[in-house]
Structure 1
């Protein structure tokens, strides 16, 4: 993981417009929208994905979710670290972040936030977790209908329709170190991350 001052990601929505163009886009144009995303810690590119009957994951939260959104959710953007799962036929691409608090005079990691984009659908994620005897509840975030479920005592996940098939937002906390409960903030965290997605 390498660190840099500011990393600006230029994302293109709707029509083609080059980030490196000498001519800036018209500020009021409806046909061209550019997303400028500040990321203070850069990570390696996502790993290659084997060919399959599924579309590859294209949205990379490591570069597409800003420091501001991570800080607003209560995590340290400087702890941004890549965490991917790539298998034959499916992939989860994304990054993890730490929540840092002062504990008995030390700055410690007391919780985590993991954001991944996947080419598996919300329904597939639902069926998998119901098959593992987890309680899966319906949820909705700004019109995106998804699911929330608990993995163990202190880890919760919300899966929403995303830029690829689904976006997974996982939070956890360590009760032995903090009174702050990640699962109690699951909905709020999902709302913050969803607001940072391209529209």
Structure 2
């Protein structure tokens, strides 16, 4: 997929449209807002599970990822069709790195049609229950994924995994207490783009 480990993140965009009251444009704007775009999933499986309706590489705006410190121009599709389930993924490299001072984080955002309960069962030894903007979630941190902080958010179709890898700028391990520094804010921002 990438040269380094992959991990996940997100951020927030606000779209503002203005019309003067009573104008003909107001009706069109209301009709437009009421119509949601539904994209045909790039990958489907034969499992009978719900189709994955959130596509990280297309549904997270590039400018949001860039503002969060990731190189959206170099994002890579990271899909995982498995037959019995599907994951649509997008990998990002971080842009902030000053040797000896600041590290860089790489992200992988994956949307899949497995349940939060299935994820908890698989990673029970490193998972703790959490909530992001009121959405049920898991926080996964542990020796299985060294220097990685992972949030798993529940959706109507399954889950979205946001996995961030700390690309250290020094030899030796990064203390586990630093793996998730500041990540919840990023996850909270990207959560707003997940439409159920």
**Does residue 150 of structure 2 align to residue 157 of structure 1?**
yes
The match for 1:4 is: none
Residues 46 and 84 of structure 1 are in contact (CA less than 8 Å); yes or no, is this contact kept in structure 2? no
Q: Whole-Å Cα distance in 2 between the matches of residues 185 and 173 of structure 1?
A: 12
**Structure 1 residue 89 corresponds to structure 2 residue 87:** no
Using CA pairs below 8 Å that are at least 6 residues apart, which structure has the higher relative contact order? Answer: 2
Partner residue in 1 for 2:193:
196
Change in Cα spacing, 1:88 to 1:141, as seen in structure 2 (3 Å) is: same
Match of 2:130 among 117, 120, 139: 139
Name whichever structure is richer in helix by fraction: 2
Between stretches 67-76 and 188-197, larger displacement belongs to: 67-76
Kept in 2, the 8 Å contact 1:111–1:182? The answer is no
Paired residues of 2:131 and 2:137 also in contact (CA < 8 A): yes
Structure 2, unpaired ranges of 5+: 1-24
The equivalent of 2:94 in structure 1 is: 99
Identify which of 52, 57, 65 aligns with 2:60.
65
Gaps of 5+ in 1: 1-22, 36-44
Structure 2 distance, partners of 1:62, 1:112, is: 15
Tell whether 2:70 aligns with 1:52. no
**Corresponding position of 2:15:** none
Q: Does 1:80 align with 2:82?
A: no
Q: Does 1:172 find its partner at 2:169?
A: no
Relative to total residues, which structure has the larger strand share, 1 or 2?
A: 1
Say if 1:168 and 1:149 are closer, same or farther in 2 by CA, change over 3 A.
Answer: same
Shift of the 71–182 alpha-carbon distance from structure 1 to 2, 3 Å rule, reads farther
Using the size of structure 1 for normalisation, the TM-score is 0.68
